A and B are shown apart, each in its own frame.
Chain A
Amino acid sequence: MEKTKQPIPNEEPANTEKPKPKLVGKEKKLEPQYLLSSSPHMATTDSVPKIMWTVIAALMPAVVYGMYNFGFNVLLTALASVIAAVVTEIVINKMRGRESSVADGSAVLTGLLLAMTLPPAFPKAYAAVGAVFAIAIGKQIFGGLGYNIFNPALLGRAFLQASFSVKMTTWTAPVGIDAITTATPLGSFKFEKIMTPYFDMFMGKIGGCIGETSALLIIIGGVYLLVKKYADWRIPASYLGTVFILGGLLWIINPEQYPDPVFHLFSGGLMLGAFFMATDMVTSPVTPKGTWIYGFGMGAVLIIIRLFGGLPEGVMYSILFMNAFVPLINRYTRPKIFGELKK
């Protein structure tokens, strides 16, 4: 429904009758026009652009590693995705008659995150298409920044997975390995019961999506965001914690069939998802209690997909699935008002 009401202006004169400027003070100077606004008159220095660009900066170690691990080629994929995202946002802003919002950094972040989740050899043109989908359908159609329900980068990836499923599951070997294609650790385990050394998975010298391989660099960037409070620590804590506990339980029950919980933590896109995707403020719950439920839900869905589903990997789906529940979670985890008595 089209909103016809005028937004309430920020600065409104407190006095409805504007008084004539008087000559005041000892020097009888003309009184200046003082600024009028509603309280408070002080604020922290945080702003939306600051948050977005800081997240992009925290992602950089993993991005650079992706180039080192898979070759310079991935830089072009990242650029294709980012440029497509930014252009899409500029065009749609113009179509909506709004001022350009790309300076806030969220389109760049979406484009970058999408690129990080793609296989290294994925065609750049298709990556650009995915970015267009992510911004247009994942974000702008809901109303732009702050209104979308699903993580835009992941929605873009889901679109690419459905549209180009073969290219989305063809993995390139890391630079220096004597092969052209290779399976990811998850694929190796699920389909061939081959284990990958933890050290390689932690450092990142394995196959996988561009930005997801180095658990170490993702954790470094992620912890930086937790410290700056731009990511709620409860989300990676509950997501990773649930995966570890549920995965561990199943492994204890049947170690031949199921991988151990440490393998779960470092394989696939879990680290990237837990620190950079699930923690996206817009699509995660606003209440502390809600974030625990959110993380637990994602962990449970992930274990189910990885161990009982047809796919080796499920981080994307686990996050998108729980994104859908966030409005409901927000409603039912409203905190008790100070002094609220039980009815």
Chain B
Amino acid sequence: MKLKTFKKGVHPEEYKFLSEHKALERLPIPEEVFIPVHQHIGAPCRPLVEKGQTVKTGEIIGQSTGFVSSPIHATISGTVKTIDNFPHPLGINGLMIHITSDGKDEWIKSFDETSNWENLSTDEIVELVQKAGIVGLGGAAFPTHVKLSPSKEKKIDTFVLNGCECEPYLTADHRMMVEQSEGVVLGTKILMKALNVSRGVIGVENNKPDAIAAMEKATSAFNNIEVIPLKVKYPQGAEKMLIKAVINRNVPTGGLPLDVGVVVNNVGTAIAVAEAVTKNKPLIERVVSITGDGIKEPKNVIARIGTPFQNLIDFCGGLTDNTVKIIMGGPMMGITQHTLNVPVIKATSGILCLTDLSVIKHKEYPCIQCGTCIGACPMNLLPTRLARFAQVENWQMAEDLGILNCVECGSCAFVCPSQIPLVQRIRIGKLRINEMKRKEKPATV
């Protein structure tokens, strides 16, 4: 039977074998955590604690400022040592709440079983999700309660769960589906109730047969949730590509999945929602895949948010001598780090350690008009043209050709024989264009 898929895309080497069969391990509680006030899409949090204050695990320490925002919680128990700027994995220093551990990991009293989730109303579910500080754990970190609150005109009929994990090397979602399939399905059902939809679809790439089997078993009792194996192709896990593959709908340009009646969430988010709604547990930890040819023992660990990368590296045996690149995320869209003193944030799905053998040597040739990037772009754009217009700062032409539709998946730069940094140039183009738009109409953004 032919597997469902989307058009174009690329086939990078998977390298999943490094960690796909490593069972989840819990990282020991760190001695100190650095919790950024800004680790999600939307407005940063306002700190609620002061220097010297003692906190318990799960206690709220940062308040949302605005609807598109998410609170942060203490991920260990201890004392707030300082609130200051520290290196942030998204490239700039960020305000973080630095907590030193008291070694006890004492939870707040409200962490226990809440009432049966099936008795809760949709509003109550969304409120629990918001209070728990849950954001998209696939890497985008969009506040989940906002996704669960579409405006009244948008009719949602399908919930899609993203179990693709199309990035090479990463296996966090894979292990969650294999080991916590019931939690994933429970989260899916809660999310479906919150959205008032009767149809759920779980998309999983075909390179995870054990995960597909586990999910099919966990959903066998529910005939309104379907597991759909998908062809292995990058970027199958991109929202628009996933919706196209599983239910064959095209999200319009400039639009959201809401516009075609769909909401998409990651499997990690589903588990976090299940724990928040049934146990009142805030988002204080997540699964991180530490992998790559530069780490001595690749593993999938459950780490507390705010743990410095160094702790995870040490837990996995340390780096090899010729490691030259540390990436937060996967190799196609991840962000390089200049230091291991950055903390795990809500969006950290993986830490990839690459040696000089795996790193691309950049010798840039002129564009030879081969058209391979055009053949790879899943959004049907013209990457070579977009990058060129961005480079010469012709913002109007770049926007006319659809530069704002680029999802920065990296397929174009992956195939370019001239090694042109297409995504870098397109990214700069998008940044400048959005800056200019904000200046023109400050009120609407």
A286 to B358, CA, bound (A): 30
Min distance, Cβ B391 to any Cβ of chain A, angstroms? 6
> Is residue A36 contacting chain B, with contact meaning CB distance below 8 A?
yes
CB contact under 8 A between A10 and B369, given known A15-B92, A34-B336: no
- CB-CB under 8 A from A43, the residues of chain B are 360, 413-416, 419
B333 to A40, Cβ gap below 8 A?
yes
A19 to B87, Cβ gap below 8 A?
yes
A338 to B253, Cβ gap below 8 A?
yes
Min distance, Cβ B424 to any Cβ of chain A, angstroms? 4
A31 to B308, CA, bound (A): 14
A40 to B332, Cβ gap below 8 A?
yes
> Is residue A144 contacting chain B, with contact meaning CB distance below 8 A?
yes
CB contact under 8 A between A8 and B378, given known A34-B336, A146-B368: no
- CB-CB under 8 A from A36, the residues of chain B are 336, 338
- CB-CB under 8 A from A39, the residues of chain B are 331-335, 408, 410, 413, 423
> Is residue A253 contacting chain B, with contact meaning CB distance below 8 A?
no
- CB-CB under 8 A from A8, the residues of chain B are 391, 421, 424-425, 428
> Is residue B206 contacting chain A, with contact meaning CB distance below 8 A?
no
B331 to A282, Cβ gap below 8 A?
no
- CB-CB under 8 A from B135, the residues of chain A are none
CB contact under 8 A between A34 and B325, given known A19-B87, A39-B334, A338-B378: yes
B366 to A38, Cβ gap below 8 A?
no
A338 to B235, CA, bound (A): 14
> Is residue B296 contacting chain A, with contact meaning CB distance below 8 A?
no
A14 to B415, Cβ gap below 8 A?
no
Q: Interface stretch among B114-122, B142-150, B380-388, B434-442?
A: B380-388
Of chain B, the residue at the smallest CB distance from A41 is: B331
Min distance, Cβ A47 to any Cβ of chain B, angstroms? 5
B333 to A24, Cβ gap below 8 A?
no
Of A50, A286, A340, A341, the residue contacting B382 (CB under 8 A) is A286
- CB-CB under 8 A from A51, the residues of chain B are 368, 370, 417
> Is residue A227 contacting chain B, with contact meaning CB distance below 8 A?
no
CB contact under 8 A between A145 and B339, given known A40-B423, A287-B371: no
Min distance, Cβ A278 to any Cβ of chain B, angstroms? 14
CB contact under 8 A between A146 and B369, given known A10-B362, A286-B384: yes
Q: Looking at B313, B331, B410, B417, which has the most chain A CB atoms within 10 Å of its CB?
A: B417
Question: What number of B residues sit within 8 Å (CB to CB) of A?
Answer: 79
B255 to A286, Cβ gap below 8 A?
no
A281 to B415, Cβ gap below 8 A?
no
A34 to B368, Cβ gap below 8 A?
no
Taken residue by residue from 139 to 167, chain B's Cβ proximity to chain A (1 for < 8 Å, 0 otherwise) reads as: 00000000000000000000000000000
B367 to A16, Cβ gap below 8 A?
no
Taken residue by residue from 329 to 371, chain B's Cβ proximity to chain A (1 for < 8 Å, 0 otherwise) reads as: 0011111111111000000000010100011101111111111
> Is residue B374 contacting chain A, with contact meaning CB distance below 8 A?
yes
- CB-CB under 8 A from A337, the residues of chain B are 253, 379-381, 402, 405
Of chain B, the residue at the smallest CB distance from A3 is: B392
> Is residue B251 contacting chain A, with contact meaning CB distance below 8 A?
yes
Taken residue by residue from 387 to 414, chain B's Cβ proximity to chain A (1 for < 8 Å, 0 otherwise) reads as: 0000111000000011001001010011
A31 to B370, CA, bound (A): 41
> Is residue B52 contacting chain A, with contact meaning CB distance below 8 A?
no
CB contact under 8 A between A145 and B366, given known A14-B338, A44-B414, A51-B417: yes
- CB-CB under 8 A from A48, the residues of chain B are 365, 368, 417-418
B325 to A35, Cβ gap below 8 A?
yes
Of A16, A31, A46, A146, the residue contacting B339 (CB under 8 A) is A31
Hey, which bits of chain A sit against chain B, CB under 8 A?
Answer: 3, 5, 7-8, 10-11, 13-17, 19, 22, 24-26, 31-44, 46-48, 50-51, 104, 143-147, 229, 232, 281-288, 334-341
For the complex with contacts A43-B416, A145-B366, A282-B369, 9 further pairs of A-B residues with Cβ separation under 8 Å are A14-B92, A15-B91, A36-B338, A39-B410, A41-B325, A42-B414, A47-B365, A50-B417, A286-B382
30 contacts between A and B (CB under 8 A): A8-B428, A10-B362, A14-B92, A15-B93, A19-B339, A22-B339, A22-B341, A25-B310, A26-B314, A35-B336, A38-B423, A39-B332, A39-B413, A41-B359, A42-B414, A44-B415, A48-B365, A48-B368, A146-B365, A281-B368, A282-B368, A285-B371, A286-B369, A286-B384, A287-B371, A288-B375, A337-B381, A339-B250, A339-B252, A340-B253
